[in-house]
Amino acid sequence: MKSMIEKTIKLGISTCLLGENVRYDGGHKLDRFLTETLGQYVEYVPVCPEVECSLPIPRESMHLEGDLDSPRLVTSRTKQDMTDRMVQWARKRVVELEKEDLCGFIFKSNSPSSGMERVRVYNGKRMPVKKGVGIFARIFMEHFPLLPVGDEGRLNDPKIRENFIERIFSLKRWREVLTRKESRGNLVDFHTKQKLLILSHSPKHYQMMGKLVAKAKDLSLKDLYQQYQTLLMECLKLKTTPKKNANILQHMMGYFREQLSSDEKQELLEIIDHYRQGYIPLIVPITLINHYVRKYNQPYLKQQVYLNPHPLELQLRNHV
Ligand code: SF4
């Protein structure tokens, strides 16, 4: 059964990824992982920039052209410039989306409207350069700079998928803190539970956030919350690595110094090392440590989000 937190994660998504026939050719780009697997844990808010700015289905295809940093959105055959229409609509739409309390957005890759990166930009007769950003995607990311974003192409990469999903679940947890009364105690409580997760992404941010929390009394609550949120989202954007995870696993092992036999310690060390070397996925040492946490009822580790940051069924820690 899903918990409340899992049920209320809202994600923006390019409508065609949900299987809606909104593409220029009247087709869709259904992504089954997003609809059937991740879809069980999130509520999608669909956005199709081209249809929502009143273009028909089907319609002439479009592309980006001109300057890489501010390309025009132009129909491919008849060369109609749709940029102003799209920009005007997008600026209003992002303000509307503020009400949705989104925890992220999944864009359709390569689209001149929805692509978040590496979209082809044409310039005269030269080969297109794959360095553009779709018009809506750019305005969205500028409006919500801290929100996790991904596209269905890159989310096929297990490491990118793990990182993106971990961030949306973390952001949801943080938003739950924001629904409560602001207090230093609430923030410290949240931070304590996230410590190992933060450390697994960035030891540097772990230190900075630790210092921020330590001087919490010197800051106004508003500044404290704002600075903490920025550091949290910056930190989680950085990817975990086998080395960083292995350090944390060994650190956690230290909590069982008294309880584990030397055989059990040896076994756990070997498993951690096999994970570090890329022979087995992270879920293996995590499962064993979770077993010890339950068995010995270890109070500090029991509350660490790192041991259970997202639903097991998403299998995000099953890759090597
Ligand atoms: S890529 Fe974007 S604009 Fe194109 S059909 Fe999908 S949602 Fe609509």
Q: Model confidence over 182-207: pLDDT tens digits?
A: 999 999 999 999 999 999 999 999 99
Helix axes 242-253, 262-276, angle to 10 degrees: 170
Residue 17 Cα: closest atom of ligand 1: 6
Q: What is the pTM of this model?
A: 0.94
User: How high is the pLDDT of residue 198?
Assistant: 98
Read off the DSSP letter of residue 52.
H
Give mean pLDDT, residues 222-238. 96
Residue whose CB lies within 8 A of the most ligand 1 atoms, among 30, 48, 86, for a mutation test: 48
d(CA 94, CA 116): 15
C-alpha 304 – ligand 1 centre gap (Å): 39
- The yes-or-no verdict on residue 1 having pLDDT over 80 is no
Angle, alpha carbons 5-6-7 (nearest 5°): 95
d(CA 48, CA 15): 5
Q: What share of the chain is helix, strand, coil (3-state, %, to 5)?
A: 55, 10, 30
User: How high is the pLDDT of residue 246?
Assistant: 98
d(CA 19, CA 32): 9
Q: Which amino acid is at 129?
A: V
